[in-house]
């Protein structure tokens, strides 16, 4: 079982190593200690660079920053209806309330009243058309946060609105043909008839539909921005955001100034999960507009309920699919229609749907497939990025389809998955050859899924446990166990090519200490720690000699969001590039001074070894001498991911630099009387390439799995069917997983595999892919329900699998034999 972390264990490397030794995951302490002694700074477990600050309560977030004298506070007046027309705002009474300094509307924005990230359809403050319940109508600026919130709460009385019936579900919008952007289509076939002909000619065919709900990011630190006017019309904004450059551009447009007059900073976030990629813009813009108008600092910090009501979250999807397959369960043809709830504006729905379509194949060869994606416009919050970015919604569909196929044929779902894997022998005679090309045209040329799954099947005892579960269920009329193994193949890169770039600065001070700045943001995932390790490795210094500073648009411009699991890939390479340039200058300086070859000089463990001699110099001394010799001791670095190309019209190309792989086995127990479920054991084996920091990577795998488990089991979003009010807008009604929900037996291991591509130290991304491992939990629950019903039944279980959903599925499999055949 996992042990609780004693905060005192995170204050030193020695104590941290002791914690790792006794934790649920295995770290070879002796091997790591030896590697560190030899100068290795990557590939070893080191604590998060802010761990000691976190546990001591000393890590400063934006609301912890000292407030400057004269700071004002902002709150938003929100729409009480989901659809309608704002005829007028009667704001005099609000302006007269105690402590209120100003009330601003869309007409007070000096620049563009829009913060849309791709399509400009997202007003900062309502400009007439009301699109969802919770849309900001006006901003109150007051001497205190309490006064601002009290005044903003008068929105219903202040707004003259003509209400209209809202469209709230993606199904409704799809029927009406209401979308935020045109439908997308992706198809692949090796015959003239396409997927339709392949399905019609298949020995077996199945149809099904499925609803998977959205998910609130529920970052612990809510949305917050603190805007401070600067001299010459400048604006400094401390913003909790994954994308400082986008916030800079949005604020500049709202203020009607050039980007170089706006500085956005972010030292750390208390979580992001995609919810602070684009949707921090509204709050940064409002705070900045208010600060410019009043020439005083303005802080806007949302209450948790308002955060729920204003911002979007993971897209819910409605899937309708059809498959044709042979007696072994091989998919011969497939068709799917995906409809997502985009909400009232486009936001990031287009790339989310693109990634969903590109991950429908997940780990499997689909010789004939036709996919369509529709982003439905509804009168709800505009949905946005969330860990996985559409990939989980798309991949879950094919996993369910294969599960149905297995149950229809009476086979173990694992065996059906194995015969459909990419790279399996082609015994279908359809001319598909190596079975290694995705529907969007990218070759899967680094496929390790078969050996990875084989290792997990053996280590988890899957086959033996399958029989043990059958024996248990036969003797247990109420409690039923289920088991499932699911793989994941997840593409790594932004599927917008130009975003795959990063910059960094590395400054070596005269005393040998190192300061690093890069364009990535720290949200608890350990990005700054990994970048510091990469720089320490490149320069051959101890990790304690490297410090990473706050992300700052005044230092590294035009950055991409810390998203798509690319943080370490991009920023680690950029920082390594900068550090290499400094190291090369130092090596050249030493070569000239000592008459040795620069190429043979080695930097490691704080020492510099000269080739052909026994002489070793301290890194700090070399730096001090180089400074006196006027050698440049700082450099910028840049990285652009190679080999990417993508046609957004045809949805063909190479959108991903590589794939990350993994698999999980989950065992659950279901109470058939109450619908309650419990995860008894989870075995995870995940491919992170050559890990930069095994402890951080295992933490990301564990966290991603539990977050995915929450999405598919307990985190249910409910809107009032008439008014469109989000009813689950607080922890009392929206249930994220707690410590007691984690598997009692939680086994996580890293798969031994170097990245085939030239990534930073041959590592692989780890942020998003592990979330998909939680499919095994959902399908294990489905397995338990199926075992409670008739043979070969296909339970109509929706996600999240709340107790109500489980009971509905149980009632269905028991009540109707036709549902199960």
Instruction: For residues 527 and 633, give the distance between their C-alpha atoms in angstroms, rounded to a whole number.
Output: 24
Going by C-alpha positions, the residue among 249, 222, 494 that lies closest to residue 385 is 494
Tokens representing residue 588 in the block: 């050249």
What phi and psi values does residue 527 have, to the nearest 5 degrees? -60, -45
- Kindly write down the DSSP assignment for every residue of 70-87, as one continuous string: T-EEEEEEE-SSSSEEEE
Please report which helix (H) or strand (E) contains residue 700, including its range.
Answer: helix 694-713
Contact call for residues 531 and 572 (beta carbons, < 8 A) = yes
Beta bridge partners of 502: 639
Q: Cis link prior to 802 (omega < 30° from 0)?
A: no
Contact call for residues 371 and 185 (beta carbons, < 8 A) = yes
Tokens 């993994």 -> residue? 662
Per-residue DSSP letter, 370: E
In Å, what is the CA distance from 15 to each residue of 5, 20, 36, 56, 486? 11, 9, 15, 16, 36
- CB atoms inside a 10 Å sphere around CB 294: 16
Contact call for residues 659 and 492 (beta carbons, < 8 A) = yes
Alpha helices in 553-692 (DSSP H): 567, 573-594, 619-628
Contact call for residues 383 and 342 (beta carbons, < 8 A) = yes
Distance of CA 86 to the CA centre of its chain: 35
Beta bridge partners of 489: 661
Tokens representing residue 21 in the block: 């030794």
Please report which helix (H) or strand (E) contains residue 37, including its range.
Answer: helix 29-37
What phi and psi values does residue 317 have, to the nearest 5 degrees? -130, 145
Contact call for residues 45 and 16 (beta carbons, < 8 A) = yes
Task: Work out the widest C-alpha separation in the chain, in whole angstroms.
Answer: 87
Contact call for residues 330 and 428 (beta carbons, < 8 A) = yes
768 is catalytic: yes
Rounded-to-10 torsion of CA 194, 197, 201, 203? 60
* Half-sphere exposure for 265 (CA within 13 Å, toward CB): 17
Sign of CA dihedral 465, 471, 476, 480: positive
- Which residue out of 192, 522, 768, 804 is catalytically annotated? 768
Tokens representing residue 79 in the block: 């729409």
* Residues catalogued as catalytic: 768
């Amino acid at each position: 079982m996992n042990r609780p972390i004693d905060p005192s264990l995170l204050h030193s490397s020695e104590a941290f190593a002791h914690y790792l030794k006794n934790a649920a995951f295995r770290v070879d302490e002796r091997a790591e200690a030896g590697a560190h002694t030899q100068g290795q700074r990557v590939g070893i477990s080191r604590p998060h660079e802010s761990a000691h600050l976190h546990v001591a309560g000393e890590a400063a977030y934006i609301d912890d920053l000292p407030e400057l004298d004269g700071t004002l506070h902002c709150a938003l007046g929100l729409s009480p209806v989901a659809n309608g027309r704002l005829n007028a705002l009667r704001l005099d009474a609000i302006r007269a309330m105690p402590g209120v300094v100003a009330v601003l509307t869309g007409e007070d924005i000096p620049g563009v009243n829009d913060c849309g990230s791709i399509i400009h359809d997202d007003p900062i403050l309502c400009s007439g058309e009301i699109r969802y319940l919770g849309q900001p109508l006006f901003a109150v600026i007051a001497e205190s946060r309490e006064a601002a919130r009290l005044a903003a709460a008068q929105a219903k009385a202040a707004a003259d609105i003509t209400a209209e019936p809202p469209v709230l579900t993606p199904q409704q919008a799809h029927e009406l043909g209401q979308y935020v952007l045109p439908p997308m289509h992706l198809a692949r076939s090796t015959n003239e008839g396409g997927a339709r002909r392949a399905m019609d000619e298949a020995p077996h065919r199945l149809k099904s539909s499925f609803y998977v709900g959205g998910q609130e990011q529920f970052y612990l630190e809510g949305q917050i921005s603190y805007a401070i006017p600067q001299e010459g019309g400048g604006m400094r904004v401390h913003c909790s955001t994954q994308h400082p450059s986008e916030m800079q551009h949005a604020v500049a447009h709202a203020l009607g100034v050039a980007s170089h007059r706006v500085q956005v900073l972010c030292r750390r976030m208390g979580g992001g999960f995609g919810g602070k990629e684009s949707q921090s813009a509204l709050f940064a813009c409002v705070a900045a507009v208010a600060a410019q108008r009043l020439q005083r600092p303005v802080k806007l910090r949302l209450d948790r309920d308002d955060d729920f009501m204003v911002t979007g979250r993971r897209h819910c999807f409605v899937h309708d699919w059809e498959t044709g397959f042979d007696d072994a369960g091989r998919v011969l043809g497939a068709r799917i229609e995906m409809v997502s709830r985009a909400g009232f504006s486009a936001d990031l729905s287009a790339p989310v749907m693109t990634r969903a379509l590109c991950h429908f194949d997940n780990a499997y060869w689909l010789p004939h497939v036709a996919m369509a994606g529709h982003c439905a416009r509804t009168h709800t919050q505009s949905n946005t990025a969330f860990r996985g970015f559409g990939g989980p919604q798309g991949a879950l569909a094919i996993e369910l389809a294969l599960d149905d196929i297995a149950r229809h044929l009476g086979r173990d779902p694992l065996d059906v998955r194995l015969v459909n894997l990419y790279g399996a022998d082609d015994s279908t005679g359809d001319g598909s050859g190596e079975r290694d090309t995705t529907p969007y045209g990218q070759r899967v040329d680094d496929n390790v899924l078969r050996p990875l799954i084989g290792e997990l099947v053996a280590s988890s005892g899957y086959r033996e446990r399958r029989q043990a579960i059958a024996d248990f269920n036969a003797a247990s009329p109420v409690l039923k166990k289920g088991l499932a193994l699911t793989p994941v193949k997840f593409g790594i890169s932004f599927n917008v090519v130009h975003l795959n770039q990063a910059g960094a600065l590395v400054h070596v001070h005269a005393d040998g200490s190192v300061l690093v700045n890069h364009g990535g943001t720290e949200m608890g995932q350990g990005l700054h720690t990994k970048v510091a390790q990469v720089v320490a490795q490149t320069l051959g210094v101890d990790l304690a000699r490297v410090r990473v500073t706050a992300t700052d648009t005044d230092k590294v411009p035009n950055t991409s969001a810390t998203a798509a699991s690319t943080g370490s890939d991009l920023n680690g390479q950029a920082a390594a590039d900068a550090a290499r340039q400094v190291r090369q200058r130092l090596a050249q300086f030493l070569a000239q001074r000592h008459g040795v070859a620069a190429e043979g000089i080695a930097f490691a463990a704080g020492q510099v070894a000269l080739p052909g001699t026994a002489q070793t110099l301290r890194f700090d001394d070399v730096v001090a001498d180089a400074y006196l010799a006027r050698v440049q001791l700082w450099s910028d670095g840049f990285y652009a991911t190679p080999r990417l190309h993508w046609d957004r019209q045809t949805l063909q190309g190479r959108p991903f630099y590589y794939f990350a792989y993994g698999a999980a086995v989950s065992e659950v127990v279901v109470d058939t009387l109450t619908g309650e479920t419990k995860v008894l054991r989870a075995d995870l084996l995940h491919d992170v390439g050559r890990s930069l920091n095994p402890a951080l990577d295992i933490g990301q795998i564990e966290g991603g799995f539990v977050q995915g488990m929450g999405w598919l089991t307990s985190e249910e979003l409910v809107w009032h069917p008439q008014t469109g009010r989000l009813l689950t807008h607080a922890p009392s009604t929206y249930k994220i997983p707690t410590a007691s929900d984690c598997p009692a037996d939680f086994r996580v291991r890293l798969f031994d595999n170097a990245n085939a591509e030239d990534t930073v130290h041959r590592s692989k991304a780890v942020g998003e892919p592990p979330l998909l491992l939680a499919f095994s939990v959902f399908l294990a629950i489905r397995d338990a329900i199926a075992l409670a019903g008739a043979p070969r039944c296909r339970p109509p279980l929706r996600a999240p699998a709340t107790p109500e959903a489980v009971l509905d599925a149980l009632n269905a499999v028991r009540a109707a034999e036709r549902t199960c055949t």
